[in-house]
Each structure stands twice: as structure tokens, then as C-alpha cells.
Amino acid sequence: MSQTIRTDKPPRSGKGPSSPLGDIALGLLPTLAVSLTTCWMLALPTSHVLLAVALYTAMSVLLLAKLPPGFSGPGLGPANRLTLVRATLVLPLAAASVLPGEFTEVAYWWMIGLSTVALSLDGLDGPIARRTGTESAFGARFDMELDAFLLLVLSALVWRSGKVGAWVLLVGGLRYVFVLGGLVWPPFRGALPPSMRRKVMCVVQGIVLVVCLGPVIPSTPAAVFSASALLLLVYSFGVDTWWLVRTAGGSRTRPPVH
């Protein structure tokens, strides 16, 4: 999912409803709506809403900072707007994952619903970007980072369910370990070629983690599913690590999400 910079229009001022800033400002409304509903469904304190808004604000600052110079819009563009909608579902889940307390069965079904919608929408932003001719590295990075963050959040929620040990955090966290490794070992910063394997792995991880959240899934199957997903993930990272080591002179960009 991404956006190209069209040169047939002058850069926008960054203000108003058709600007990136306008899209981001409007995105705060569904974030508040989902956060308030989640707060009620999960019986969370009102600090959950404040935390979700804080996460949305941090994401907004990063988006505006990474926006390519001369970005002509309109707004963030159709595909990036869809990714922003996904973020309004993911961030309230992230806020819930770090607050203390136990979740009820109804709460887990609510989180499964939000996660399922967020994962399902992930399959639409890429085709929309290609159909509208708005693909770009900025949009691809936005989509990739949100996917990675969602997997980390789901891993934390599965761990909090008590069905699986803390090792399940590696399912969502291994990618960040890989990125941090690039800070100390240059080969990890090499550019990886496009891979259907990584896309499939991302989908599989998301599905497995959502399934494990289900109240009807006992601890043993949840552990088996999560361990299988982690083993597949380790294999995928191993393949990419070996490729980067053999082509250590590649360009220094962050690796895509697995």
C-alpha cells in the first residue's frame, strides 16, 4: 500500500479537510469512538481513552514528519486513509494491552472483532493504491509499520490471556529485534527483495494470534498454534538473514515486516 507523488498539482499547504493534517485530525474522531466503546466493553478506566489518544498523537507526529516533501494529496490519499482507519482500531487495542486487570469473555470477543476487521482491511489498501496510481514508499512503510505493531499488540494480548507464556511476545517482537540488530550490525540494514513468503507469514501470524485469543480455545492448542507460528517466523527471518549476510553490500534500509 502506498502513494506516488503527483507532479501535476502544486503542493498543498498541509491545512484543511483535504490535506494530510486534515485527514489525521478527522481520524481522531473514530479513535475516540472506538476507545470509548472499548473502555466500556472491557470495563477499563478512562485512562484507556487518554492512552489511545496519546498513541494516536504520537503516530500522527511520525506520519507528518515522514511525509515526503511536496506531497500533493489530496489528503493522505485513498489507500493511506484506509490504513489510518485501521490504525483507529489498532491503537485502542494497544492501549488496552498495557492496562492492568483481567478481561471477560465478552471483552475477548470484542478484541477479536476489532482485530479481525483490522486484518481484513489490510488486504484492500494495496489494491486501492495500485488502482488509483498512488503507490509510494511512504504508504508502504505506513502499512508495514501498522501491521508490525498490530502483531505485537496481539502477541501481548495472547500472553495476557494466560494461555501462553511470555515467549509468545517473540511472534510480534522478533521483527523489532531484527530492526534493532541493524543498529549494531550493518548487514541487517540491507534492502530485502519483495517476497510473497513474508506476506503470507504476516497473514498467518495475525490469524493464529486472533484464533488464540478466542475464549473457546484452550491453553494447549493456543500454545501449539503460537509455537508453530513462531517457528515459521524464525525460519522466515533465518532465510532473510542468510540472504542479507551473503549480499552485505546492499542498500541500508529497514527490513519489511514478516
Q: Name the band, by pLDDT with cuts 50, 70 and 90, for residue 72.
A: low
Report pLDDT for 246.
82
Indicate if the pLDDT at residue 254 is higher than 60: no
Q: What is the pLDDT of residues 81-100, one digit of tens each?
A: 999 999 999 999 999 999 88
pLDDT band at 252 (very low <50, low <70, confident <90, very high): very low
Contact 84, 23 (CB under 8 A): yes
Which residue did the predictor score with more confidence, 91 or 238? 91
**16-31 pLDDT tens trace:** 446 889 999 999 999 9
The whole-chain average pLDDT of the chain stands at 85
Cell numbers at residue 132, please?
488509483
pLDDT band at 1 (very low <50, low <70, confident <90, very high): very low
Residue 210 has a pLDDT of: 97
Long-range contacts of 218-222 (CB under 8 A, 24+ apart): 218/163, 219/162, 219/163, 219/164, 222/158, 222/161, 222/163, 222/164
Dump pLDDT digits (tens) for 111-165.
999 999 999 998 888 888 888 887 888 888 899 999 999 999 999 999 999 999 9
Residue 207 pLDDT greater than 70, yes or no: yes
> Cell numbers of 75, please?
489528503
Q: What percent of the chain has pLDDT over 90?
A: 55
- Quote the pLDDT of residue 245: 81
The pTM of this model reads 0.85
Residue 63 has pLDDT above 90, yes or no: yes
Domain boundaries, the chain: 1-159, 161-258
Residues in the chain: 258
For the cut 70, the answer to whether the pLDDT of residue 73 exceeds it is no
Residue 251 makes CB contacts below 8 A (sequence gap 6+) with 190, 191
Measured CA to CA in angstroms, residue 198 lies from 176, 195, 204, 237, 239 at distances of 15, 6, 10, 9, 10
Q: Residues with Cβ < 8 Å from 148, sequence gap 6 or more?
A: 172, 175, 176, 257
CA atoms within 13 A on the CB side of 89: 21
CA geometry: angle 122, 176, 48, nearest 5 deg: 65
